[in-house]
Chain A
Amino acid sequence: MTAISVQGLTKRFGRVTAVDDLSFDGPSGTITGFLGPNGAGKTTTLRMVLGLVRPTAGTALVDGVPYVRLERPAQHVGAVLEAAGFHPGRTARDHLLVLAGRGGVPARRVPEVLAEVDLCDAADRRVGGFSLGMRQRLALAGALLGDPGILILDEPANGLDPVGVRWLRTFLRTKADAGCTVLVSSHLLAELALSADAVVIVKAGRLVAQGSVAELMAGGCSGVRVRTPQPAELRGALTARGVNSQFLGADQVIAHDVSCELVGHVAADSGVVVYEISTERRALEDAFLALIGEEGAA
């Protein structure tokens, strides 16, 4: 089932087209990474999904209806969109109590979500004195108030320290495993590779690719890397077997589109000494850069 459905979404600000005929789905119970370079239209898309920005064309549905038609949105969707959106003179607890009141959520949820994001000690401090990471946690607490089945997070790892990033990753995975749908935009590609089930990649407001992380990382330039004192002999043997390969430095060869086992057999058959052999997997970052056509992409 699809929890988030975006169809033909377009947004123009004057002459600038921020999002251009974008379509993708966020399946239930999965973490979908939403990737794109700066200015790709990620935030605008998320804001259109959440009814904050009016689309020029297209539709964005949450649980099958536009966000603005949800009866109790806080109990369907939790969103973290910007860390700066807090009144500096109010405490974290007051901020959440106001949100709870607006969302029709019982006030008893406030201490619960504060504990969930590990902000109990700072609950009665004014938000003006919070670090960026604390603000992100507070925003996440607000998103969790209604115990929603869908989380939409815009760069939630911004400002978090490594411990916080790890905590967030575990937290999102736990939520997804419990059936929660997560749509998360991030520029921390390695982080998404660890946590996301699928990714949607956009560039200049258009969809570039959509699929599972494994699919994206598998495509293109995967290979088998061999460290050997006889690279020329190995390459010759591989070429004789019709395997495309190339040198990597003085003592390495990488063989493309071939299994590790086959390379091992070729090396053994030709009497080449092998110090190390490993499958070379393309990182999500490489796949991302290749898809968006950045220079230096693998």
Chain B
Amino acid sequence: MITPLVGAELRQLRKTPATWGLLAAALLLCLAWTAMVLAGVGGIESPPRGSMRLRDALFGASSIGCLPVLLLGVLAMTGEFHYRTATFAFLAVPVRSRVVAAKTVACLLLTPLIAVALVMVPYATGVITGAVELTLDRHLVAVCLRVVLVFACWAVVGAGIGAAVGNQTVAVVLPLLWFGVVEQMSGAYAFLQGLQAWLPGGLLVVVGGGRYPGSLPLWAAAAAFAAYLFVLFGAGLRRITRMDVT
């Protein structure tokens, strides 16, 4: 059941232009990826038309949505401080941890819609262009559920970063650098590959059902990911509950 507080946070997200901007960006990136996949059909080492591999490649386009979903969490949490609306939020709800929790839940509730949209848009494009056939099977449901889970994790990471950092610019740039540079480097260099399994991005690959050389078992990845969240939200709640809203 959605509490009035979560409902208010959902409304706030819905009525914030940045939310729709991020969704539009996610859809555009997803379509661009889809176009690249479809453009390669028939080429060497590309999945053939009508194959399950092509279908999975199209589903893979949804992964581009991780970043916008992460930023959605960041903006939901930091927007109150960026626009100095935290005064209103904490006047209405003086127990500040409840505001943090409601924002996180609101982001979580939005992720299934985004996930299904980003799975269905490339798939529908593939069907419309005749690259794959329309098959509403269990595999499609499994993909949707997996993407929902992964997006939910990314949204929570974003909310945690937003809570812990506070400054919106830093909270946006920091994960972009981390996931775009640091984690990419850890995957690219052999001597850093042992590290990748312990970094949030590497853990989320496993949580989402993926595997790579040296990856942790699912339970260990889930536990390590939960530990990251614990640290982020612990730091965030400490900062937010102790800060003077001036």
Contacts and interface: CB of A to CB of B under 8 A. Distances in A.
A68 B8 contact: no
- Interface residue SS majority, chain A: mixed
A53 B245 contact: yes
A52 B11 contact: no
Contact of B15 (A84, A90, A102, A142): A90
Interface in A51-67: 51-54, 67
Given A53-B244, A89-B17, A101-B11, A68 B85 contact: no
Question: Size band of the B side of the interface?
Answer: 20 to 34
Interface in B43-93: 79, 83-93
Given A52-B90, A81-B87, A101 B7 contact: yes
Interface in A75-132: 77, 79, 81-82, 84-91, 94, 97-104
Given A98-B12, A98-B15, A52 B84 contact: no
Contact of B94 (A67, A94, A98): A67
B139 interface: no
Contacts of B9: 98
Contact of A82 (B4, B11, B84, B242): B84
Contacts of B7: 101
A68 B98 CA distance: 12
Contacts of B16: 87, 89-90
B79 A51 contact: no
B118 to A, nearest CB: 24
A50 interface: yes
Interface in B90-138: 90-95, 99
B229 to A, nearest CB: 24
A297 interface: no
A51 B90 contact: yes
- Interface residue SS majority, chain B: helix
Contacts of A103: 92-93
B8 A73 contact: no
A70 interface: yes
B219 to A, nearest CB: 38
Contacts of B92: 73-74, 99, 102-103
Contact of A142 (B88, B99, B242): B88
- Report, nearest first, the 4 A-B pairs whose CB atoms are least far apart: A101-B8, A102-B92, A68-B94, A52-B245
Interface of A: 44, 47, 50-54, 67-70, 73-74, 77, 79, 81-82, 84-91, 94, 97-104, 142
Interface of B: 4-5, 7-9, 11-12, 15-18, 79, 83-95, 99, 242, 244-246
18 contacts: A51-B91, A52-B246, A53-B244, A74-B92, A77-B91, A82-B84, A82-B87, A84-B84, A85-B83, A85-B86, A91-B15, A97-B11, A98-B12, A99-B8, A101-B11, A102-B5, A103-B92, A103-B93
